[in-house]
Amino acid sequence: MAIGVDELRSRYVGMVFDSVEVQALRDEMVGFASACGETEPCYIDPDHEDFQAPVNFTTKYHGARMLPDDFPEFDRRAMIDAGKAITWHRPIRAGETLTARSQIYDIYEKTGRSGVMLFLVHRMEFTNEGGELTSVVDWRLILRGGLS
């Protein structure tokens, strides 16, 4: 029996199900910025007075789990990565330890030409050692055919 979108939402939306710590390393920050084609000195020159990670830096991280342990099973071959969106709140400095907490932010359904698609929005909120929010990354996953 398939579980409905309303039940999925009430069970999982807002549930924090994973937490990881990562360290923003200088060389990784520079490498990431360079790979993205960044040219601003504050992102690619560690000696720059305002050296910081590029705005999209936290998109490189993921948690230990993609979904809550008790999330209904589905055919992962039917899953599509629909991209990431980032909201930047404050600079990330080299050497900072960030805590990333994962939650299901939203679940919704759409019907397209190929049928029903279930959208899951996996959110990671990154905070620095002082508990200040640095960025939020929303990752959208599409399950073709839903959870049927």
CB 121 within 8 A of CB 12: no
Q: What is the pLDDT of residue 74?
A: 81
Give the residue from 32, 12, 15 showing the smallest Cα distance to 24: 32
The yes-or-no verdict on residue 20 having pLDDT over 70 is yes
Task: Decide if 131 is inside a domain.
Answer: yes
Is the torsion defined by CA of 63, 18, 121, 29 positive or negative?
negative
Does a structural domain hold residue 42?
Answer: no
Q: What is the CATH number of the domain that holds 136?
A: 3.10.129.10
DSSP 114: T
> What's the pTM?
0.89
* Rounded distance between C-alpha atoms, residue 91 and residue 57, angstroms: 10
Identify the bridge partners of residue 140 per DSSP, sorted by sequence position.
121
pLDDT for position 76: 78
* pLDDT value for 98: 98
Residue-wise pLDDT tens digits, 45-60: 999 999 999 999 999 9
DSSP structural state of residue 69 = T
> What is the rounded distance in angstroms from the CA atom of residue 100 to the CA atom of residue 21?
6
- Structural domain contains residue 87: yes
Task: Find the domain containing 69 and state its range.
Answer: 5-24+61-144
Q: Is residue 39 part of a domain?
A: no
DSSP state, residue 59? G
pLDDT for position 2: 67
pLDDT of the residue at 133: 98
Total domains in the fold of the chain: 1
Q: Decide if 49 is inside a domain.
A: no
Instruction: Tell whether the model's pLDDT for residue 1 goes beyond 50.
Output: no
The mean pLDDT value of the chain amounts to: 93
Contact 144, 119 (CB under 8 A): no
Residue pair 97/123 in contact (Cβ under 8 Å)? The answer is no
Which of 13, 6, 26, 102 minimizes the C-alpha distance to 61?
Answer: 102
Residue 138 is assigned to a structural domain of this protein: yes
- What confidence tens digit (pLDDT) does each residue in 72-123 have? 888 778 888 999 999 999 999 999 999 999 999 999 999 888 788 899 999 9
Position 43 in a domain: no
Condensed to tens digits (0 to 9), the pLDDT of residues 9-19 reads: 999 999 999 99
* Residue 148 banded pLDDT, cuts 50, 70, 90: low
Question: Does a structural domain hold residue 130?
Answer: yes
